[in-house]
Structure 1
Amino acid sequence: MGKMCPINTAKFRFEFDSSTGILFKYYYGPITIDDLTGSWDYAIENKLIPATVKGFILDYREAYFRLSSTDREEIPRYYKRRLNVFGSRKIAILTLNPKDIVVPILVRRQDSGYHSQPFSTLEAAICWILGEIPGS
């Protein structure tokens, strides 16, 4: 039996905007690799990701990363193992902390089967997912 990690739902929250087709995932406080993968597993198991989802906005403005270099490498591997959920979809990572911007930049370099991009404004992230800005 695999390692069981308790899920702290106080560290994340999901909201689906049916008008845009975007699933928002809000994070709070220190975030580890177990928080990242466990929260996605929670969403998948509890069917919180509609089949009609166009993309994801991961909002880290009230959180910060606690990730090792190995943990950072696990993020794109996780997405690639779940292309049934993330495949051909856009993942916008929203953060204001200059220290944390390196994580989505490194993840983006390993994108395969999905697309990710860091942003500092919610408006730009939404426009990118909806294809309303150049390079989207």
Structure 2
Amino acid sequence: MSIEYVKHDLYPESILIRNFIGKVDVNDIIDSWEYLNKNKLIDKKIKGVITNLTGCELIMDMESFKTLIAYLKKEDYIKKIKLAVISNIPETIVFPFLGEIQESELKIKPFSTMEAAVDWISKGL
């Protein structure tokens, strides 16, 4: 598993992209959030993070999904930004759909393209 962190070309101060590659589980996702926080990669200017799962195999079930949601909800810096998740695999995209429907305090939204995710985050910039 590896993660590539990239600032968006048009919105480098507002949108951060995480490209996950290989097999990814809930611990990898949480570790990535902790890395972003520890290294101050999410500051007040960041309006959203795009999690690109198109290059990975997500290993997740409902129990690990609940673990991830509990982590996200306890982190104030995460609750302040938009969380776009890109996937084109039904078994993967179901999790951000559940997050969007069940967790109104988190701004999670699933997408199938980078362009749509960027459009959503950039509204209001």
Calculate the TM-score normalised by the size of structure 2.
0.87
- Given candidates 41, 66, 72, the residue that maps to 1:79 is 72
- Using the alignment, how far apart are the partners of 2:102 and 2:90 within structure 1? 20
1:95 equivalenced with 2:87 (yes/no): yes
Of 95, 100, 104 in structure 1, the residue corresponding to residue 96 of structure 2 is: 104
Match of 2:16 among 9, 20, 23: 23
SS in structure 1 at match of 2:91: coil
Contact 1:88 1:113 in 2 (8 A): no
In the other structure, the counterpart of 1:43 is: 36
Q: Work out which of the two has the higher radius of gyration on C-alpha atoms and give 1 or 2.
A: 1
In the alignment, is the contact (CA less than 8 A) between 2:22 and 2:57 conserved in 1?
yes
The reply on whether 1:130 has 2:122 as its aligned counterpart is yes
CA positional deviation for 1:94: 0.4
Q: From the two aligned structures, give the one with the greater helix fraction.
A: 2
Amino acid at match of 2:7: F
In the TM superposition, structure 1's runs of 4+ consecutive aligned residues that sit over 4 Å from their partners are none
Structure 1's unaligned 5+ residue stretches are 1-9
- CA drift of 1:34 comes to 0.7
SS at match of 1:12: strand
Partner residue in 1 for 2:110: 118
Unaligned 5+ segments in structure 2 are none
Distance in 2 between residues matched to 1:114 and 1:131, nearest whole Å = 17
Deviation at 1:130, TM superposition (A): 1.3
Deviations 1:34-53 (A, max 9, x none): 10101111121122223210
2:100 and 2:106 in contact (8 A); partners too: no
Task: Trace 1:62-77 onto structure 2 (pairs within 5 A).
Answer: 62-77=55-70
Identity of aligned pairs, percent? 28
* Residue 98 of structure 1: how far off its partner (Å): 1.9
Length-normalised TM-score, structure 1: 0.81
Deviation of the 1:113 alpha carbon: 2.9
